[in-house]
Structure 1
Amino acid sequence: MGERAVGIGGVFFRARDPEALRAWYAEHLGIDMEDYGTTFTAREGDQTVWAPFAGDTDYFGPSGQQLMVNFRVRDLDAMLEQLRAAGVDVDDHAHEIEFGRFGWAVDPEGNRFELWEPA
């Protein structure tokens, strides 16, 4: 095959108000960003999943959005409680499988995102 992709270089998405959304992610998820975004440093054993889903999946929520970002967290329950306390729209159903525990919330622009506490 020759050359191939070796990882995800970034996730880029449109926002109605990028400055406000950057501030929201900094406040609620601790992701401080510059105008260009932020970077995450990979650690030994970290992985990034690239997975197409069926067009009619409801996994991304009812909004019809085309992609969903998954953020790794150390303590899913604490993060979900922190978001709820701040008035963030948090899905009440956490999910656990062999890879870990998952929860979901929605940012101010209606983007559903996933939180993952690895097993």
Structure 2
Amino acid sequence: MKLSRKESTRRRHGRIRRSVLGTTERPRLAVFRSNQHIYAQVIDDSRHHTLVAASTLEPELRQQLETGSNCEASAQIGKLIAERSLQQGIKQVVFDRGGNLYHGRVKALADAAREGGLDF
């Protein structure tokens, strides 16, 4: 039985989440990629609390970007999440690619976050 792409992504995400855990010292940078937008959150799993979030749905970014579904938009979100994390005093994170392959938009976001000062 061949799995759908969505089901494959969901299973991959489950395998990743078994080992990736965000702590207070090193929270989890979770990425969600939809067809039209990309979202990033820095989450402390021990307190079940989102510390920082950014997405292409934010009004300031929507005016700058022509679309939220390309590598350029993902890089903007990566820079923004790094900037907001550093303001909160978060320098080290664990990267959670959300079951997506480390390629394209997810890779662009991760590279931009690293350039912005996050360590993972």
Normalising by structure 1, we get a TM-score of 0.29
Structure with greater contact order relative to length (CA < 8 Å, sep ≥ 6):
2
The structure that has the greater radius of gyration is 1
Normalising by structure 2, we get a TM-score of 0.28
* Higher helix proportion (structure 1 or 2): 2
